[in-house]
């Protein structure tokens, strides 16, 4: 397996030696016994990876041309794969990977999924039109489809954020959920029976929602949310973070902060994901041009703007080490941030450069091992799964292209393209 080395200066290396001393009594090898699922959108495959052995365990074939993308765990038994170019959602049996991928027929293309464990329901939002399907997971059956079905038209909708008609789905309570209607630029609140309870217009399209931290908001956290606004580069609108609450089934906006800094050009910016720090005090939200904005979760003030990489998107927190690892989708490295003093610790190279138009360098979603020793992810356009050792910041890689070919599985493009995997399983 290929190894990349940490790119850091002497001062950073000194701090790492101090940090490593606190882990001196740990065994050299920690058995994590984990499994990761990653979708390959260009080859219509799903990769099942043994993260401890760094080996490809299984390749599951999706329908040709179906474009599997987000992978979401529905319950212990099932994992749903959003095949974004089909009118169905794929189903993987977690306990029998030899079974072919199943499918649940939909009336719209799937964007991504959110699971409601209290009701055993999966909410699947639309990729081609503003619909949401409610699925009874134990029967793999659609119970209801809601929404007006507005179609995303890139000639009309110029906001940053891609071609999907909805953002990520999100359950409010056991019986209510949100739909981020991107063509209409609206946030909609539905009852699971299909009734539209309320909606509000948004200044730009929105990518996803996150619930306010109970450690900061107390009981109010049950009805308080943050929403990542994507911005509109062509109109000079920066990304933003909106806060709102639900009261008597009404959506009430309670605050908004626009991501801005002295050396930021709105024409280069675009918002993606926001993530809350483990203590609930901060919200981290990256922007496309290469900055991470750190926002106080209560005051909604920007308290730090840190340099990251292009395509700055998801943030994975390592609570026991006071670290945050930032996925830079269009760069070759992940950025490590000290969450205590809000400084950049290092940039860790995880991929070679990639000049393939439209393909990401580093894929969506990273996994953190239970011991907090390793962070996992994918270098998408070079077809590699990687593991970062958080003691040394060394990177091990698994060449998925080589492994798939060795298994005798057809790889239509000739290169693996692992793009997103949200299903990590730990024994």
Residues of the chain predicted below pLDDT 50: 1-27
Structural domain tally of the chain?
A: 1
Instruction: Check residue 327 and give its pLDDT.
Output: 96
Token readout for 339 is 């969450």
Domain that holds residue 396: 1-61+353-427
87 assigned to some structural domain = no
Instruction: Check residue 128 and give its pLDDT.
Output: 96
189 assigned to some structural domain = no
Instruction: Check residue 26 and give its pLDDT.
Output: 47
- Rg from Cα positions in the chain: 21
358 assigned to some structural domain = yes
Instruction: Check residue 177 and give its pLDDT.
Output: 98
Instruction: Check residue 295 and give its pLDDT.
Output: 98
Instruction: Check residue 421 and give its pLDDT.
Output: 85
How far apart CA 372 and CA 158 sit, in angstroms, is 40
Task: Using DSSP bridges, classify how beta strands 68-73 and 78-83 pair: parallel, antiparallel or unpaired.
Answer: antiparallel
How far apart CA 204 and CA 193 sit, in angstroms, is 28
Helices (H) and strands (E) in the chain, counts: 3, 34
pLDDT tens per residue, range 39-52 = 999 999 999 999 99
How far apart CA 383 and CA 367 sit, in angstroms, is 17
**Residue labelled with tokens 């990304």:** 239
How far apart CA 369 and CA 66 sit, in angstroms, is 31
Report whether 228 contacts 239 (CB < 8 A). yes
Label residue 12 exposed, middle or buried (CB < 10 Å: 0-12, 13-18, 19+): middle
**Residue labelled with tokens 């024994």:** 427
pLDDT tens per residue, range 280-303 = 999 999 999 999 999 999 999 999
Task: Using DSSP bridges, classify how beta strands 55-61 and 68-73 pair: parallel, antiparallel or unpaired.
Answer: unpaired
How far apart CA 269 and CA 233 sit, in angstroms, is 6
Report whether 183 contacts 152 (CB < 8 A). yes
394 assigned to some structural domain = yes
Report whether 361 contacts 379 (CB < 8 A). yes
Q: In residues, how long is the chain?
A: 427
35 assigned to some structural domain = yes
47 assigned to some structural domain = yes
- Give exposure, 18-34, as e/b (b: 16+ Cβ within 10 Å): ebeeeeeeeeeebebeb
0.75 surpassed by pTM: yes
Instruction: Check residue 9 and give its pLDDT.
Output: 41
Token readout for 262 is 């002295």
How far apart CA 403 and CA 409 sit, in angstroms, is 9
How far from 57 is each of 32, 49, 138, 363, 403, CA to CA, in Å?
A: 15, 5, 26, 20, 9
Task: Using DSSP bridges, classify how beta strands 196-201 and 102-105 pair: parallel, antiparallel or unpaired.
Answer: unpaired
Please name which of 275, 394, 380 lies closest in space to residue 1, comparing C-alpha atoms: 394
198 assigned to some structural domain = no
Helix (H) / strand (E) containing 309: none
Which residues are within 8 A (CB) of 96 and not within 5 positions of it... i.e. 6 or more apart? none
How far from 201 is each of 206, 234, 248, 313, CA to CA, in Å?
A: 11, 20, 18, 25
257 assigned to some structural domain = no
How far apart CA 127 and CA 161 sit, in angstroms, is 13
């Amino acid at each position: 397996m290929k190894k990349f080395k940490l790119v850091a200066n002497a001062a950073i290396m000194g701090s790492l030696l101090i940090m490593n001393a606190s882990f001196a009594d740990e065994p050299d090898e920690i058995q994590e016994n984990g499994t990761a699922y990653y979708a390959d959108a260009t080859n219509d495959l799903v990769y099942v990876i043994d993260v401890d052995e760094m080996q490809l365990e299984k390749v599951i074939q999706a329908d040709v041309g179906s474009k599997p993308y987000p992978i979401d765990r529905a319950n212990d038994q099932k994992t749903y794969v959003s095949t974004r170019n089909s009118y169905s959602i794929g189903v993987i049996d977690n306990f029998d990977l030899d079974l072919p991928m199943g499918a649940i027929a939909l009336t719209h293309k799937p964007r991504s999924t959110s699971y409601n464990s209290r009701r055993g329901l999966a909410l699947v939002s639309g990729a081609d039109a503003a619909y949401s399907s409610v699925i009874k997971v134990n029967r793999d059956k659609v119970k209801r489809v809601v929404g007006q079905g507005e179609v995303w038209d890139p000639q009309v909708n110029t906001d940053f954020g891609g071609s999907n008609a909805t953002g990520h789905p999100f359950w409010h309570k056991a019986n209510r959920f949100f739909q981020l209607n991107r063509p209409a630029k609206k946030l909609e609140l539905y009852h699971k029976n299909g009734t539209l309870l309320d909606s509000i217009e948004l200044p730009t399209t929105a990518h996803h929602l996150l619930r306010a931290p109970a450690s900061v908001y107390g009981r109010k956290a049950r009805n308080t949310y943050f929403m990542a606004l994507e911005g509109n580069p062509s109109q000079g609108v920066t990304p933003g973070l909106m806060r709102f609450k639900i009261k008597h089934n009404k959506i009430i906006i309670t605050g908004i902060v626009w991501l801005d800094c002295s050396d930021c050009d709105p024409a280069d910016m675009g918002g993606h994901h926001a993530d809350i720090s483990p203590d609930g005090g901060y919200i981290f939200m990256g922007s496309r041009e290469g900055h991470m904005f750190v926002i106080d979760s209560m005051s909604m003030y920007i308290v730090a703007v840190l340099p990251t990489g292009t395509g700055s998107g998801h943030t994975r927190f390592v609570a026991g080490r006071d670290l945050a690892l930032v996925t830079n989708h269009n760069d070759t490295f992940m950025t490590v941030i000290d969450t205590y003093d809000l400084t950049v610790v290092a940039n860790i190279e995880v991929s070679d450069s990639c000049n393939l138009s439209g393909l990401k360098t580093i894929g969506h979603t990273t996994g953190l091992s239970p011991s907090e020793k390793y962070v996992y992810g994918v270098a998408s356009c070079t077809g590699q799964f990687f593991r970062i050792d958080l003691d040394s910041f060394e990177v091990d890689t698994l060449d998925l292209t080589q492994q798939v070919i060795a298994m005798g599985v057809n790889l239509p493009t000739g290169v693996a393209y692992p793009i997103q995997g949200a299903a990590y399983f730990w024994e």
